[in-house]
Amino acid sequence: MKHIIISLVLAIFCLTPLFAQQAKSALQAVHYIKLANTLREVDKSQESISLLLRAMPAVQSKNLYWEAVANELLGLSYNDIKDTATAIRYLELARTQYTKLKYVASGWGVNEIIRNISGKNVYAGIQVSKTAVRVAIFKTKYESDFYEKEIKTTFDIPNSPLLYANASNAITPGRDALRVGLDSISRYNIPSERIFIVFSSDLDDDLGQTPLRQQALYQQLSRVLPNTTLRIDTTLTPAREAELFTIGTLPRKVWPTTSALNLGSTQTMGGYFDREASRRNYTGANKSFHAVTIPIGITTLVSRIEGKRSSNMDAFRREAQRIVKNVADSVLSPYQSNRDLSLQQRSTVGLGGDITQALVAYLYPDKANLAAVPISIEDVERFKRAVLTDYKSLIQPDLRSITNPDLRNRAEKDVTTAQNQLNEKQLITGALWLSALVTAYHSEASPKRFVFVRNAGISWVTGKFLETINYEYESTIAKGAMYTR
């Protein structure tokens, strides 16, 4: 298709004298504007600008709609050539004109482009869990069918276990951690509507057994919030967290063929959408999500393996293989027996979690710049064998073959992150659990393509953000109002 467009443009350039003058009528101006849009598609943005400037006199102050369209395309074309200041000036003109016309959908879309170009389209999430307060501030785009997150900052603040066990006596650590997260977010001038604060599903489930403690914790942490428009969401169930994770991990266009799976510390979660869901909006009951929630994660498995006794590494390896197999046999049988046929029909599985990140960091350090990295069944088995038999060599991969300095720097950071996130016992347990999961999902009758999705650990924030901006868009259109935050 692109070759056809290029041929068309080349043919049009044969008529250069015709387009070298200003448009003499509104109809000719519309022809210029439409051609300018085509030129942008074939990377001729400078030529697009020239043509739009010739079109402008015929519509300026005469046809507000086409003047707005021309200004919008000028803004996009100037952004293509990295002239940000001029791009924003034209886009702001277009936004104002769409507002006058009450074309709120066009105005909302242009506003989002302005925010993105000016670096304001950033969002943030704070998740309060049993053991940590996780803070994430970033933008999102996607490439190769999976999201690529432009991370501004993300970090975990260790939390006292007493935070959820005794809310009245151990509020201070959680409150201080939340304050640190909010202070970090305040530097980015993010609207309250794009800051999401939640109790993680494991914490909420635990506190749900004692509503008074949940209320006490909520009230204490709420006092840290800087304004009344920010709220802490205490309704995040495992199924809801799995849904947000899936929305934030998988772009809508791959929903019909792809499921998501996150191997966390206290639970394993994910799921898939009905095939027709990708053609519907994000809000209300129009999307049908099927959650996979298993209340088992790497930390909980390590606790089961160790029990109340301390054991050496050889004993731990033996016990880990026995217990993980027993757990897998009991909790993964629905997937191994193909009872969930719709899940089996998803040919690709997007994987998240520290253990899959460690696998890629150690086995494929040269892919540190990719947002999505395919993982084969053989990769998982090779990783498991290395963890069990050659741990020290595994966690020190040879990076000398990576000659690109930026890529090597990323690879070194990935390796360091993996070393800090998972100790030997956690790596053993995680590799065994990952192996059990991919075996349960994969079969000769229903082969799977597994893909590690980078930064999937903060995908719930992306999911919440995508839901929010789509709701803003739909509700704005319904009210006929302009949204310009």
Q: Which pLDDT band holds residue 164 (cuts at 50, 70, 90)?
A: very low
**pLDDT for position 478:** 61
Cβ–Cβ under 8 Å, residues 106 and 75:
no
Structural domain spans, the chain: 2-117, 123-236, 248-462
Q: Which pLDDT band holds residue 278 (cuts at 50, 70, 90)?
A: low
In terms of average pLDDT, the best of 182-186, 236-240, 373-377 is 373-377
Could you tell me which CATH class the domain 123-236 is placed in? Answer: alpha beta
DSSP assignments along 353-372, one per residue = SHHHHHHHHHH-GGGTT-SE
> Which of 80-94, 135-149, 279-293 has the least mean pLDDT?
279-293
Which residues does 470 contact at the CB level (< 8 Å), separation at least 6? 281, 282, 283
Higher pLDDT residue, 95 or 148? 95
pLDDT in tens, 344-379: 889 999 999 999 999 999 999 999 999 899 999 999
In CATH terms, 248-462 corresponds, of 1.10.10.10, 1.10.645.10, 3.30.420.150, 1.20.120.530, to 3.30.420.150
Cβ–Cβ under 8 Å, residues 73 and 36:
yes
Percent of the chain whose predicted confidence (pLDDT) is above 90: 50
CA–CA distance, 75 with 67 (Å, rounded to integer): 12
> Which of 99-108, 248-257, 333-342 has the least mean pLDDT?
333-342
Whether the pLDDT of residue 286 is over 70: the answer is no
pLDDT in tens, 425-472: 999 999 999 999 999 888 877 889 999 999 888 888 888 888 887 776
**pLDDT for position 394:** 96
Domain 2-117 has CATH 1.25.40.10: yes
Whether the pLDDT of residue 77 is over 90: the answer is yes
**pLDDT for position 15:** 45
Higher pLDDT residue, 468 or 83? 83
Q: Which pLDDT band holds residue 284 (cuts at 50, 70, 90)?
A: very low
Higher pLDDT residue, 414 or 117? 414
Average pLDDT over residues 391-404: 95
CA–CA distance, 72 with 92 (Å, rounded to integer): 8
Whether the pLDDT of residue 417 is over 60: the answer is yes
Whether the pLDDT of residue 319 is over 90: the answer is yes
Average pLDDT over all residues of the chain: 84
For the entire predicted model, the pTM comes to 0.78
Which residues does 411 contact at the CB level (< 8 Å), separation at least 6? 361, 365, 366, 368, 399, 402
Check for a shared fold between 123-236 and 248-462.
Answer: yes
**pLDDT for position 285:** 45
CA 450 to chain centre: 17
Average pLDDT over residues 222-235: 85
Q: Which pLDDT band holds residue 246 (cuts at 50, 70, 90)?
A: very high
Cβ–Cβ under 8 Å, residues 108 and 483:
yes
Whether the pLDDT of residue 335 is over 70: the answer is no
